[in-house]
Each structure stands twice: as structure tokens, then as C-alpha cells.
Structure 1
Amino acid sequence: METQNIVLHARFAPNGTVVEIGERPASLVPQDWFNFLSDKAGDVYQALAGGRGVFRLTREELNALKEAAAPTAA
């Protein structure tokens, strides 16, 4: 069986802040989701021209990261 790869696109403002990023949990702003992904999966990030970049993850990796990023209920 073939692994399903997901490409998360990130778009940056001229000052370097993240203004848009794919698969973002509702509880996080774009910059926080990018920071979390950079910390946990920075080795799969690819910078692109024009203020853009992508993270390439499997669906399983992405689901695990989303779960880890979700705030825990008390």
C-alpha cells in the first residue's frame, strides 16, 4: 500500500510572519502552527520563492502533530 503524502503550504508576509498555512488546528493562529511544525517537523520543510514554503508529511504524521498541538482539556 502506498503512503499518502500531504503538502502543507505556508504563505509569509513581507516581514516574515506567517499569514496562511494549511491544515491548521482552529485553536492556533497561523504563526503558532508554523512554529510548532518547525520545532517538531522542521526537517521536512522546504522554502520556496515568493514568500512561500511547504511541509511534506504523511497523513499519520500530520494527525499525530495535530493531536500533539491541541490543548489538553482540564
Structure 2
Amino acid sequence: MSTAVEEVVAEVPATAAEGKVVESLIHVSFNPDGTVALIGERPQGAAAQAWFKYLSHNTLNRYQALAGGRGLFRIPRPEVDALKAAFLKELAA
């Protein structure tokens, strides 16, 4: 059974000591078997499962599980850009 889920990426402002930091919310939805169906901010050409695994292994205390086979990562915008670049570099190697 396939469910159409719209990929949503939200940016939530958060304040920090040195100024304003934009926190990105990367939404994830899972298939009934636990594999990743959709994930936001996925680099072009990357598999959804591989991007989820990379984020899971390279971020600390950033993932929040939600009900209904969903979850999200809360990561500052500059860190998301750095993670994407490192992931693409790893894929190319």
C-alpha cells in the first residue's frame, strides 16, 4: 500500500548567543517495513535510505521520532549545507 506524502522542509528561527540561527526541519516518512519513503533536503541522486543513515550517523541528538511512521531532524541551516556537501563528497569517492 503506497501513500503519497508531500515532502516538506520548514525553517524555524531560533535565537543563539551570537545572533539569529535558522534551524531547518528535515521531515522523514517511513514505509510500513521501516525503510525511508521520503526525506527532505536529500541531495540529488542520493537514495532516501542512504541520506537518512548518513544524517543519523553524523548528527547527535537531532532526530525526533513522531507518530504515524514519521520523524524529523532539527539541524541549523549551515550544518545542513555542510552535511550535504560531505555526503556528496563521500558518494563521489
TM-score (norm 1): 0.92
- The whole-number CA distance in structure 2 between the counterparts of 1:13 and 1:42 is 24
**Aligned partner letter, 1:6:** S
What is the aligned partner in structure 2 of residue 39 from structure 1?
A: 57
Instruction: Name the Cα RMSD after superposition.
Output: 1.5
Q: Which runs of 5+ in 2 are unaligned?
A: 1-18
Q: Which has the higher contact order (CA 8 A, sep 6+)?
A: 1
Secondary structure at 2:55 match in 1: helix
Q: Which of residues 49, 69, 73 is equivalent to 2:67? A: 49
Structure 1 runs of 4+ with >2 Å offset: 71-74
Deviations for 1:27-74, whole angstroms, at most 9, x for unmatched residues?
A: 311000000000001420000000000000011110010000003657
Structure of higher CA gyration radius: 2
- Relative distance call for 1:15 and 1:42 in structure 2 (3 A) is farther
2:63 counterpart of 1:63 = no
Count how many residue pairs are aligned between Structure 1 and Structure 2: 74
**Aligned partner letter, 2:76:** T
Q: Which runs of 5+ in 1 are unaligned?
A: none
- The whole-number CA distance in structure 1 between the counterparts of 2:89 and 2:83 is 12
- Larger relative strand fraction: 2
- The whole-number CA distance in structure 1 between the counterparts of 2:53 and 2:61 is 13
TM-score (norm 2): 0.74
- Larger relative helix fraction: 1
